[in-house]
């Protein structure tokens, strides 16, 4: 907290490097000219010309861009004077490899790559502790913002009953593909193209893949539980959160007093609901005694009918426009803006269509599989295929639509770092 006041007392520059230069980083770049004491040393991207173009489109002048070291190889910049790396490739396998290399070089890392975090985050976080560096979630992404609210609540003595985010969800969207995404998302093809939005990536938001991934990240950082049967996406407006996101035993919709859940901004007829939270985050907290309940009432806090549960929310997240918060937090306070501490939750793969022997899976937001949030115990016990391992996996067995895919059903080209990380995490829950 109060990082801006510390900034004036900070001497020197904070040297950073980006691994991947897509939409999230472009949003940060649009703020770069206004930020103090942050210096972009390097940008690593497989398409350097596109990365340079994104810099210019985001508002950097040519002189600034010319001062940045561009490379297609992370190895080539690891020994440079860089304090913080930001991994933003979105690829869980490659992202895990990158994180291992950065941490082993005793450099701090911010993981925009939530996909890698929920696949291998507990291992990476522990590896960072061993190397005395900071492994952090990215502020601006919803998991970090949710965790900030949870931290505030727990610090002040509140019990967190439920935490999560809003999204635009409908059961039919689970079968959305990169070819159908923009209609479901609510944009035209032209609008998406002009904004530089990747259809496969944004389809992961539409199908629920990203929601499952982000709630796994929150569960693994906060020790909150997963719902019994995956996310349910109830259609709930902000003023009804406290009435609905409470345990079923108290008249609500959730399984546990202390879990994650995502709410939808549309109803079963795909109509927008009033006061939706499509772009925001929320928590529900519980009063521990009658005096606190009276305070809720006296100060006009939004509660359930009993007055015991209260909800707070943030209506928007600003994505990459807020990333500087993580950078300053690490540089000035030596603190992460969210950090994986457990392996409670996993996201497994469900067939989006009938799959045959030899079929190639194409990962999160693709044509072949979708993600489902489950406990790590369930995932490991049943040998389910984590969604993060699907990209490039080849089917060895015929699978019908909506069937859970198991590790034994596919051939995977394991990355050594990923295999090590998953073995490490699996051992933690035995």
Indicate which CATH number applies to the domain containing 127.
3.40.50.720
- Residue 41: pLDDT over 80: yes
**Same domain flag for 135 and 39:** yes
- Residue 78: pLDDT over 70: yes
Is residue 94 in some structural domain? yes
Is residue 200 in some structural domain? no
Nearest to 364 by CA among 186, 222, 216, 142: 216
Given this model, what pLDDT does residue 388 score?
Answer: 97
Q: Spell 64-74 as b/e; 16+ CB within 10 A means b.
A: ebeebebbeeb
- Residue 308: pLDDT over 80: yes
Nearest to 39 by CA among 9, 83, 6, 105: 83
**Same domain flag for 16 and 135:** yes
**Same domain flag for 249 and 271:** yes
The percent of residues in the chain predicted with pLDDT above 70, rounded, is 100
- Residue 2: pLDDT over 90: no
Between CA 213 and CA 256, with CA 218 as vertex, the angle to 5 degrees is 105
Strands annotated E in 140-255: 159-167
Is residue 185 in some structural domain? no
To the nearest 10 degrees (0 to 180), the angle between helices 142-155 and 209-222 is 30
Is residue 214 in some structural domain? yes
- Residue 412: pLDDT over 80: yes
**Same domain flag for 300 and 410:** no
**Same domain flag for 153 and 287:** yes
**Same domain flag for 159 and 111:** no
Q: Are strands 108-111 and 159-167 parallel, antiparallel or unpaired?
A: unpaired
Please state, in angstroms and as integers, the Cα–Cα distance from residue 22 to each residue in 39, 43, 58, 198, 324, following that order. Answer: 18, 11, 11, 9, 16
Number of domains present in the structure of the chain:
3
**Same domain flag for 134 and 69:** yes
Cβ-based neighbour number of residue 325 at 10 Å: 18
Q: What is the pLDDT of residues 79-122, one digit of tens each?
A: 999 999 999 999 999 999 999 999 999 999 999 999 999 999 99
Instruction: Judge residue 308's burial from the number of C-beta atoms within 10 Å of its C-beta, 0-12 exposed, 13-18 middle, 19 or more buried.
Output: buried
Question: What is the C-alpha separation between 337 and 323, in angstroms, rounded?
Answer: 10
Is residue 41 in some structural domain? yes
Domain that holds residue 41: 3-140+323-333
Residue 58's pLDDT band (boundaries 50, 70, 90)?
very high
**Same domain flag for 248 and 368:** no
Query: In terms of pLDDT, which residue wins out, 211 or 197?
Result: 211
Is residue 405 in some structural domain? yes
Nearest to 422 by CA among 309, 315, 346: 346
**Same domain flag for 229 and 132:** no
The tokens of 349 are what?
A: 């793969």
pTM of the model: 0.97
Rounded to the nearest 10°, the torsion over CA 322, 205, 171, 149 is: -20
Q: Spell 150-180 as b/e; 16+ CB within 10 A means b.
A: beebeeeebebbbbbbbbbbbeebbbbbbee
Q: What is the pLDDT of residues 237-291, one digit of tens each?
A: 999 999 999 999 999 999 999 999 999 999 999 999 999 999 999 999 999 999 9
Given this model, what pLDDT does residue 1 score?
Answer: 61
Is residue 194 in some structural domain? no
Is residue 180 in some structural domain? no
**Same domain flag for 52 and 103:** yes
Please state, in angstroms and as integers, the Cα–Cα distance from residue 343 to each residue in 9, 119, 141, 224, following that order. Answer: 38, 9, 20, 11
The tokens of 420 are what?
A: 């090590």
**Same domain flag for 15 and 110:** yes
**Same domain flag for 14 and 117:** yes
For the chain, what is the mean pLDDT? Answer: 97
Last residue of a domain, one of 298, 333, 368: 333
The tokens of 150 are what?
A: 């949870």
């Amino acid at each position: 907290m109060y990082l801006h006041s510390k900034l004036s007392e900070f001497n020197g520059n904070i040297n950073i490097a980006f691994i991947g230069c897509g939409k999230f980083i472009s949003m940060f770049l649009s703020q770069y000219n206004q930020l103090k004491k942050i210096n972009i040393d390097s940008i690593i991207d497989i398409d350097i010309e596109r990365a340079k173009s994104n810099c210019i489109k985001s508002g950097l002048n040519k002189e600034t861009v010319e001062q940045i070291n561009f490379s297609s190889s992370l190895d080539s910049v690891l020994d440079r004077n860089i304090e913080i790396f930001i991994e933003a490739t979105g690829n869980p396998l490659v992202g895990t490899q990158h994180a291992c290399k950065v941490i082993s070089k005793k450099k701090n890392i911010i993981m925009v790559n939530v996909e890698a975090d929920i696949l291998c985050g507990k291992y990476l976080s522990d590896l960072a502790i061993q190397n005395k560096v900071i492994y952090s979630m990215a502020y601006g992404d919803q998991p970090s913002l949710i965790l900030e609210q949870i931290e505030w609540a727990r610090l002040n003595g509140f019990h967190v009953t439920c935490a999560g985010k809003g999204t635009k969800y409908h059961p039919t969207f689970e079968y959305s593909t990169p070819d159908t995404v923009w209609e479901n998302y609510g944009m035209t093809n032209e609008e998406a193209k002009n904004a530089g939005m990747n259809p496969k990536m944004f389809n992961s938001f539409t199908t629920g893949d990203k929601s499952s991934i982000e709630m796994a990240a929150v569960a693994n950082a906060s020790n909150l539980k997963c719902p019994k049967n995956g996310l349910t996406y109830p259609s709930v407006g902000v003023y009804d959160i406290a009435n609905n996101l409470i345990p079923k035993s108290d008249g609500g919709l959730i399984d546990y007093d202390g879990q994650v859940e995502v709410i939808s901004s549309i109803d079963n007829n795909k109509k927008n609901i009033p006061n939706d939270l499509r772009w925001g985050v929320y928590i529900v907290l519980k009063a521990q005694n009658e005096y606190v309940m009276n305070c809720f009432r006296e100060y006009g806090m939004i509660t359930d009918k009993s007055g015991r549960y209260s909800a707070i929310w943030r209506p928007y997240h600003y994505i990459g426009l807020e990333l500087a918060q993580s950078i300053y937090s690490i540089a000035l306070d030596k603190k992460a803006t969210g950090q994986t501490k457990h392996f409670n939750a996993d996201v497994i793969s469900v067939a989006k269509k009938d799959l045959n022997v030899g079929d190639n899976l194409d990962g999160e937001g693709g044509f072949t599989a979708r993600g489902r949030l489950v406990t790590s115990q369930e995932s490991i016990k049943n040998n389910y295929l984590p969604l993060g391992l699907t990209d490039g996996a080849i089917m060895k067995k015929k699978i019908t639509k909506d069937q859970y895919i198991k590790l034994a059903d596919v051939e995977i080209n394991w990355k050594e770092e990923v295999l090590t990380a998953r073995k490490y995490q699996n051992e933690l829950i035995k």
